[in-house]
């Protein structure tokens, strides 16, 4: 890709991506544990609340995965389901022993509005949203508000700020030291800024390796499944290219058979416990003739290398190379990344 292709990606989506450090810093500055939220956390610790039900749609739903793992590892019963399925398939979970944690960037998508109507305040609802006067914010028992600001189309700064808010919430529910949690989160904005300062070099590097790709996979384990899921979604909606998110383990159960020279696999190294498994998968895919990327803190210089940060911040950083990938794919296709043609920013139809 020649540098004269850059202008095609320099639209509002890119400006939103580059605004992520500011959005993270602003969100951290205003994040607080309200009395209502502290009360819900106390009821959960005391056993008065028996389960936590995590729900959202799209990138918001994927952002819940690190918290889902954390709550269950701590000993709580945490369940996760897309809001569209929850409201029609499992309304029995709407009861006083359930804490619903609903996340929606706009707080007014069709599924969230339906959730509010179906729940009818039977279960307490904690909300994470970016819009203070949205239906979700106004009907929540407790609210965590992010400060991403207005976003043009594809979820980028609303996604990373939601991850920040959810990490703070996880610390509260799991008894982590609040000061230490804030110290960890304070490293997010500088780390994101350090990566994005080289965005043009990242896009140029990726474009050279993504030519003639028909099948794109993003493969993770553990908390990295958040970036895999959200990443595949933003590839599809920002550049209208097909991408699939899978766990590294699931990829071995069949999809490995389709690997060839037209396949590209972005493999997230993730947590230490499964890093060797992911590395072996990366090598097997590469040996089968596919192009791969190793997304980690020690990938070496280049676009796939993540800034070093605490494990709790890693999900925020893992989405950055995928964002760069969308820009590279857009430049190669000669389209403006992130400009929707068929869907609105807020989904108002079920």
**What DSSP character marks residue 99?**
E
Task: Name the pTM for this structure.
Answer: 0.96
CATH code, 277: 3.40.50.10490
Residue entry with tokens 């780390």: 191
Examine the pLDDT at 288 and tell me if it is beyond 80.
Answer: yes
Distance of alpha carbon 348 from the chain centroid:
21
Q: Which of 186, 211, 244 is the last residue of a domain?
A: 186
Residue 2 lies in a domain: no
pLDDT at 260 over 60: yes
Question: Is residue 1 pLDDT above 80, yes or no?
Answer: no
Average pLDDT of the chain, as a whole number: 94
* pLDDT band at residue 125 using 50, 70 and 90 as cut-offs: very high
User: What's the CA gap between 194 and 191, in Å, rounded?
Assistant: 5
Question: What's the distance, CA 26 to chain centroid?
Answer: 18
Provide the terminal-to-terminal Cα distance of the chain, rounded to the nearest Å: 40
* 11 found inside a domain: no
Q: Does residue 131 share a domain with residue 107? A: yes
> Taking residues 28-46, what's their average pLDDT?
97
At 10 the pLDDT is 81
What is the distance between the alpha carbons of residues 148 and 258, in angstroms, rounded to a whole number?
A: 39
| pLDDT in the model for residue 5 | 60
- Same domain for 109 and 228? no
* Overall domain count for the chain: 2
Question: Are the C-beta atoms of 243 and 180 separated by less than 8 Å?
Answer: no
Please indicate, yes or no, whether residues 181 and 38 belong to a single structural domain of this protein. Answer: yes
User: Which single residue is written with the structure tokens 């605490």?
Assistant: 310
Residue 3 confidence (pLDDT): 52
Residues 41 and 171 in one domain: yes
Reported as a single tens digit per residue, the pLDDT across 186-245 is 999 999 999 999 999 999 999 888 877 889 999 999 999 999 999 999 999 999 999 999
Contact 173, 151 (CB under 8 A): no
Does residue 344 sit within a domain? Answer: no
Is the same domain home to 274 and 147?
Answer: no
- 126 with 226, same domain: the answer is no
Tell me: do 241 and 139 sit in the same domain: no
- Same-domain status, 179 and 204: no
Which domain covers residue 122, as residue numbers? 31-186
Burial class (CB in 10 A: 0-12, 13-18, 19+), 285: buried
Q: What are 312-332's pLDDT values in tens digits? A: 999 999 999 999 999 999 988
List the single range of 77-81, 106-110, 288-292, 341-345 with lowest mean pLDDT.
Answer: 341-345
Q: Taking the CB of residue 77, how many other CB atoms lie within 10 A of it?
A: 12
State which of 128, 160, 186 marks the end of a domain: 186
Same domain, yes or no: 234 and 328: yes
User: Are 112 and 230 found together in one domain?
Assistant: no
**Of 186, 221, 249, which residue sits at a domain end?**
186
Torsions phi, psi for 198 (to 5 deg): -105, 30
Tokens 């993770």, residue located: 220
Burial of 111 (0-12, 13-18, 19+ CB in 10 A): buried
Do 107 and 36 lie in one domain? The reply is yes
Whether 151 is covered by a domain: the verdict is yes
DSSP string, 207-223: HHHSTT--EEEEEE-GG
* Residue 339 DSSP code: -
327 and 263 within one domain: yes
**Beta-ladder partners of 295:** 268
Residue 159 lies in a domain: yes
Which pLDDT band, with edges at 50, 70 and 90, does 8 fall under?
Answer: low
Average pLDDT over residues 43-62: 97
Are the C-beta atoms of 130 and 84 separated by less than 8 Å? no
**Residue 9 placed within a domain:** no
pLDDT at 343: 80
- 165 pLDDT more than 60: yes
Residue 345 lies in a domain: no
Confidence of residue 270 (pLDDT cuts 50, 70, 90): very high
* Across 113-140, average pLDDT: 97
273: its two tokens: 């416990």
pLDDT at 6: 64
* Residue 342 counted as domain residue: no
């Amino acid at each position: 890709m020649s540098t004269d292709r850059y202008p095609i990606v320099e639209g509002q989506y890119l400006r939103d991506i580059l605004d992520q450090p500011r959005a993270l810093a602003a969100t951290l500055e205003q994040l607080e544990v309200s009395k209502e939220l502290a009360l819900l956390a106390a009821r959960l610790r005391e056993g008065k609340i028996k389960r936590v039900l995590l729900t959202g749609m799209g990138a918001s739903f994927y952002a819940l995965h690190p918290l889902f793992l954390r709550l269950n590892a701590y000993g709580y019963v945490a369940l996760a389901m897309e809001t569209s399925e929850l409201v029609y398939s499992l309304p029995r979970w709407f009861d006083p022993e359930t804490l619903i944690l609903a996340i929606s960037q706009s707080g007014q998508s069709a599924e969230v509005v339906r959730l509010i109507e179906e729940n009818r305040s039977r279960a307490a609802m904690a909300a994470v949203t970016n819009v203070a006067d949205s239906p979700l914010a106004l009907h929540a028992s407790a609210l965590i508000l992010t400060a991403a600001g207005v976003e043009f189309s594809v979820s980028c700064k609303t996604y990373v700020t939601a991850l920040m808010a959810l990490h703070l919430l996880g610390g509260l529910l799991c008894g982590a030291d609040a000061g230490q949690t804030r110290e960890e989160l304070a490293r997010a904005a500088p780390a994101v800024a350090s990566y994005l300062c080289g965005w043009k070099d990242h896009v140029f590097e990726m474009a050279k390796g993504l030519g003639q790709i028909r099948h794109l996979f993003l493969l993770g384990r553990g908390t990295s499944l958040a970036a895999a899921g959200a990443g595949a979604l933003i590839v599809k909606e920002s550049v209208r290219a097909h991408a699939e998110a899978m766990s590294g383990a699931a990829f071995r159960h069949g999809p490995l058979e389709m690997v060839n020279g037209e396949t590209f696999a972005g493999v997230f190294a993730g947590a230490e416990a499964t890093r060797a498994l992911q590395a072996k998968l990366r090598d097997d895919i590469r040996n089968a003739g596919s192009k791969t990327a190793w997304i980690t803190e020690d990938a070496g210089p280049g676009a796939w290398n993540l800034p070093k940060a605490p494990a709790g911040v890693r999900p925020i950083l893992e989405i950055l190379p995928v964002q760069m990938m969308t820009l590279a794919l857009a430049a190669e296709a000669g389209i403006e990344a992130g400009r929707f043609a068929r869907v609105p920013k807020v989904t108002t139809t079920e």
